[in-house]
Structure 1
Amino acid sequence: MDLWSYAGKRVVIAGCFSGIGEAAARELVRLGAEVHGVDVRESAVPMASFRIVDLKEPAAIDKAVEEIGGQIDGLFNCAGLPQTFPALDVMKVNFLGMRHWTEQWIPRINRGGGVATIASNAAYRLQQRLAQTLELVATPDFASGLAWCEEHMGLVADGYTFSKEAIVVYTLKRAAELARQGVRLNVTLPSPVATPMMRDHFVKVAPKEVFDAFSEPVGRLSQPEEQAYPLLFLNSDAACFVSGLAMPVDFGFTGGVNTGVLDVQKLIAGARAG
């Protein structure tokens, strides 16, 4: 048995039009998986099937899951909105819709299969408001989660960082709850990535110094493939005992922050002063 192989595996990927999701979908196809994709824009990746799905719409999610149908071995959650969109739309896609999408697939995931979701290393301070995030994660469905967000817009802010913190906390909590069912859930925390989203959105709402700070200590943006490969590992049989992991994919950023080697605010201030 080749623990690294996806030959004969059936997988679903959300967010395969561009960036990390497109890179992951292409590699999954290359590795022999039967890949079914969804996104709000048509993907050029030659998958087994593709559907236009807006994660802001629970009914569209339910319809897509029923149409794809059957059992799967892996779910890849790569869709997301940046903070250039309305805050509640960001929360709907990055957390509420992603959670609803994931929950619809969980009963269809074969034992030993997994869910690999993209968050962000912008969630590095999630412990500071963990209690509030757990309140949101405890809401039972999309509608109640949205109502909670509407009542806590001070926490939600622009939606981006808080949505990423929420999907991390949700993943860790559900991983423990589903362990005895043999379903694994993990999440990656990428550093800034050279994707169309970076070019077309992120750079419009934050100065270059912010992305430079979150790209330390390596000093460059990561490439989509560099973020896709860890996702494929987490849903492979090689990661059969890995669940509940929030995996930094940032070339030392998280380690540097946690050990005091990096101070993000000082890095940003220093870059601006320079």
Structure 2
Amino acid sequence: MDFLGYKGKRVIVSGCFSGMGEATARILVEQGAEVHGLDFKPTQLELASFNQVDLRAPETVTEAVNKIGGKVDALFNCAGLPQTAGAMDVMKVNFAGTRHLTEAVLPLMAEGSAIASISSNGGLGWSRRIPVIMELIGQKGFDAAVAWCEAHMDEVKEGYSFSKEVIIVWTMLTACHLIKKGIRMNCTMPGPTSTPMMTHFKEASGDAVIDAAMQPSGRPSSPEEQATAMVYLNSAAASYVNGVALPVDGGFMGGVATGQVDLSAMMANAK
């Protein structure tokens, strides 16, 4: 029984080299999908195709999508940079480039297609910054988004948290428009995950913050645990799930909401 409905479907996965993106692509291959990978580094997976792209260079993204062509049933935006990268590189990859990729793929999508992106529970402050985020989202195209960020570095700061907040609001906003065409859009909010990026997060935030973010479960997730949430959101089984920012964090967000996780103490320990 093909409960998730991926057999024979054509999908694109960005960030397929490692971590959550690699796990997502691997699971989709196992589910019988025709998987086309995009990344800055070559993948070791046996995919239908692989194109090397740099989300900071939109022309490479457009070229890759044109090579893939045909109908695309699902897009998985898994590529991203951590806080240890330069703030503008983070904004280009985590938002401007991701949006450009999505807009390049959309003409290849028909009713029943779906898009899922990776945000973070590091973007949990999105609701307090909606006016600023909407101003950025309102900038049309890659270059305009980058120019806005360069002119608002006081809002961008280190780039990571802001970029993840933007992904959440952009997802919710865009989902309302796309569903009228029968296309769904959602994102996940992962907690700490055992990927190659974990060392970068610890370097940027400190062990105390990472440990606090792993409460109440007390452990990081695996890349596969994050990937399965993405695979579900874009599947036929989630046909009425739209505009959702899904926490995949072992209960952290629930703990914050009910006072079981002391967010102020967590922030006090941040570097």
Query: Do the two structures share a fold, i.e. TM-score over 0.5?
Result: yes
Q: State how far apart, in whole Å, the 1-side matches of 2:42 and 2:202 are.
A: 24
Aligned to 1:213: 212
TM-score, normalised on structure 2?
0.97
Q: Secondary structure at the match of 1:55?
A: coil
Q: Secondary structure at the match of 1:72?
A: coil
Aligned to 2:238: 239
How much does 1:268 deviate? Answer: 5.5
Query: Greater shift after overlay, 259-268 or 36-45?
Result: 259-268
**Number of equivalent positions:** 271
- Does the CA-based 8 Å contact 2:15-2:37 persist in structure 1? yes
Aligned to 2:8: 8
RMSD of the TM alignment (CA)?
A: 1.5
Aligned to 1:227: 226
How much does 1:265 deviate? Answer: 2.3
Q: Secondary structure at the match of 1:80?
A: coil
Identity in percent = 50
Mapping for residues 112-261 of structure 1, pairs under 5 Å = 112-199=112-199, 201-261=200-260
Q: Secondary structure at the match of 1:203?
A: helix
- Does the CA-based 8 Å contact 1:12-1:75 persist in structure 2? yes
Q: State how far apart, in whole Å, the 2-side matches of 1:2 and 1:41 are.
A: 32
TM-score, normalised on structure 1?
0.96
Unpaired runs of 5+ residues, structure 1, are none
How much does 1:266 deviate? Answer: 1.4
Aligned to 2:106: 106
How much does 1:270 deviate? Answer: 7.5
Matching residue's letter, 1:257: V
C-alpha distance after superposition, 1:93-117 (max 9, x if no partner)? 0000000100111121121110010
Q: State how far apart, in whole Å, the 1-side matches of 2:233 and 2:84 are.
A: 30
Aligned to 1:263: 262
Matching residue's letter, 1:251: G
Aligned to 1:45: 45
How much does 1:218 deviate? Answer: 0.6
Unpaired runs of 5+ residues, structure 2, are none
How much does 1:164 deviate? Answer: 0.5
Aligned to 1:34: 34
C-alpha distance after superposition, 1:192-225 (max 9, x if no partner)? 10001113x2222221011111111111111000
- Does the CA-based 8 Å contact 1:213-1:268 persist in structure 2? no
Q: Secondary structure at the match of 1:112?
A: coil
